[in-house]
Amino acid sequence: QKPAYKWRRVLLKVSGEALAGDQAQNIDPKITMAIAREVAAVTRLGIEVAIVVGGGNIFRGASWAGSSGLDRSSADYIGMLATVMNAIFLQATMESIGIPTRVQTAFRMSEVAEPYIRRRAVRHLEKGRVVIFAAGTGNPFFTTDTAAALRTAEINAEVVLKATNVDGVYDDDPKRNPNARLLETLTYQDVISKELSVMDLTAITLCQENNIPVVVFNLNKPGNISKAIMGESVGTLIGG
């Protein structure tokens, strides 16, 4: 049995893929609403929630680079812009049910959202607003998982809660091996040495260096997001 944590400030990472669900469209509004409802419930308890959104449901730089003469940096900028679309969608959903929410972008788009200003982000959180960080790190060649680790360290959040479409980390691919076991706890070193596809190396190393635990859990099970935020045992906990 994993210990239950009481987080004060968390960073929720929502991948683009998780936002898409099984919809043909890029975003499933049922999923954004489920996220909004569960986040609303925990912010009422006083837990501060920051969110990093991915963009893979719309555009992934690495898989486009090379085609049609697109260089990696340009492709990655398009990918970062995709995360802004998701962020604005999620913000609109959150505000539709009354959660004050600010989007901060890693590069300036000041007609659309605030620029990322660390101290301002922290102030929003202290006032009970949800802050959505968009445009990743603002740099090509990185991922939004790395942005999640980076922002967590910057704003002194206590954990990265990685919402995915799987229950957690398995010892083998559960799609191919029906006997694959869900691992309840893992060390950073396990993830790195066994090359488990939890997060890219840059992201997991940043978490390790800053002692940031990572919880990988399934966003599609009702109640899981609030459970993860409340520090209840869910999915896989990666740490020390």
Return the range that interacts with ligand UDP (CB under 6 A); candidates 37-45, 120-128, 138-146, 167-175: 138-146
Confirm if 207 and 178 have CB atoms less than 8 A apart.
no
Query: How far is Cα 43 from Cα 47, in angstroms, rounded to an integer?
Result: 5
How near is the Cβ of 150 to ligand UDP at its closest, in Å?
A: 8
Can you read off the two tokens belonging to residue 220? 């599609």
| Nearest C-alpha neighbor of 88 from the set 139, 19, 142 | 19
Q: How far is the CB of 79 from ligand UDP (least distance, A)?
A: 3
CB of 86 to ligand UDP, least distance (A): 8
Q: Among residues 80 and 191, whose Cβ is nearest to ligand UDP? A: 80
Closest to 163 measured CA to CA, from 80, 100, 93, 234: 234
Q: Out of 11, 16, 199, 219, which residue is the one contacting ligand UDP (CB under 6 A)?
A: 16
Q: Which one of 97-105, 141-149, 187-195, 203-211 is the stretch in contact with ligand UDP (CB under 6 A)? A: 141-149
The rounded distance, in Å, linking the Cα atoms of 108 and 193 is 38
Minimum CB distance to ligand UDP, residue 60 (Å):
4
Binding status of residue 162 toward ligand UDP by CB under 6 A? no
78 neighbors 48 (Cβ within 8 angstroms): no
48, 142, 204, 213, 234 from 210: Cα distances, Å:
20, 18, 10, 9, 22
Give the residues lining the site for ligand UDP (CB under 6 A).
15-17, 54-56, 60-62, 75-76, 79-80, 82-83, 136-137, 139-140, 142-147
